[in-house]
């Protein structure tokens, strides 16, 4: 996988959009510069069954038109059915080896990590990238771990791990630079884009911040 895909990783499902059409929100975010997308259909009122699959296909089609990889959160069967580019799994989800067995070799597997030990284990397993969080407090995910801030990314890099990393959790335009300067390749964001008045402008702002670090 290309490290730069992680520059601005948009994670979203229909319940994150304050009643707006998730297809419109995704299109706006892509126009603003999102480089990677995860379909995370979770929480109260989340779509299930055929409705979830239909939305997944529609969002995947939008990503495909713009060459943006389409990743599915948790749901391995859905990822296979809609021919997603990969899956994202957490420490409490299906174990890496079982996921890898089900997927085709070119499919991306991202793993959530919260410590250096989990990051090292994910690298040993063969994770293509890791999502490290929560960087900051967030209400978007109810069962978050302890907030450790960007320091944990610095520790992972000091341990010599070069795996592609995104920080996640409570990231907005005011703190993204700290996450990138700690050694993340990019930031993964839900509400700061999905609930913004303009997903386009919110994504554009994150891209400007990323350019400060990489220039
Ligand atoms: C990029 C990224 N990083 C971390 C997560 C969190 O995954 P997980 O801990 O499995 O929690 P849920 O998202 O499944 O509620 C993520 N989704 N994406
Ligand atoms: C999906 C997710 N995973 C987290 C982790 O810590 O692993 S925090 C989180 C929610 C991120 O949403 P927002 O950008 O709105 O804070
Ligand atoms: Mg999960």
CATH number at residue 114: 3.20.20.70
> Which residue has its alpha carbon closest to ligand 2 atom 9?
169
Q: How many angstroms separate the alpha carbon of residue 87 from the centre of ligand 3?
A: 10
pTM: 0.97
Atom of ligand 1 nearest to the CA of 166: 1
- Structural domain containing residue 37: 3-214
Pairing verdict, β 108-113 and 129-132: parallel
> Which residue has its alpha carbon closest to ligand 1 atom 2?
131
Ligand 2: does its nearest atom lie under 6 Å from the Cβ of 147? no
Mean pLDDT (whole number) for 38-45: 96
- What average pLDDT does the structure give for the chain? 97
Using the CB atoms, write b or e for 196-207: b if 16+ within 10 Å. beebbebbbbbe
d(CA 204, CA 199): 8
| ipTM metric | 0.99
What is the number of structural domains in the chain? 1
Mean pLDDT (whole number) for 91-95: 96
CA-CA distances (angstroms) from residue 181 to 6, 178, 189, 191?
15, 5, 17, 22
Determine the pLDDT at residue 214. Answer: 74
191 is in an annotated binding site: yes
Phi, psi of 129 (to 5 degrees): -155, 165
Atom of ligand 1 nearest to the CA of 11: 18
The residues carrying an active-site annotation are 40, 112, 141
Each residue's pLDDT tens digit, 135-163: 999 999 999 999 989 999 999 999 999 99
d(CA 143, CA 123): 24
Ligand 2, pocket-test mutation among 169, 175, 193, 203, most atoms within 8 A of CB: 169
């Amino acid at each position: 996988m290309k490290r730069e895909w992680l520059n601005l990783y948009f994670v979203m499902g229909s319940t994150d959009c304050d009643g707006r059409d998730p297809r419109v929100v995704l299109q706006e975010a892509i126009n603003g510069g999102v480089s990677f997308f995860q379909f995370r259909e979770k929480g109260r009122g989340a779509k299930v069954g055929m409705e979830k699959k239909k939305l997944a296909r529609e969002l995947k089609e939008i990503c495909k038109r713009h060459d943006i990889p389409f990743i599915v959160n948790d749901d391995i069967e859905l990822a296979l059915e809609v021919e997603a580019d990969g899956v994202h799994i957490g420490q409490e989800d299906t174990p890496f080896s079982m996921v890898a067995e089900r997927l085709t070799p070119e499919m991306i597997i991202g793993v959530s990590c919260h410590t250096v030990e989990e990051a090292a284990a994910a690298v040993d397993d063969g994770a293509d990238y890791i999502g490290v969080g929560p960087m900051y407090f967030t209400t978007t995910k109810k069962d978050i771990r302890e907030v450790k801030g960007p320091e944990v990314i610095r520790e992972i890099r000091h341990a010599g791990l070069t795996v592609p990393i995104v920080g996640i959790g409570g990231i907005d335009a005011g703190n993204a630079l700290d996450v990138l300067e700690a050694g993340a390749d990019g930031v993964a964001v839900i509400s700061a884009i999905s609930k913004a008045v303009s997903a386009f402008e919110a994504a554009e702002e994150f891209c400007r911040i990323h350019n400060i670090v990489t220039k």
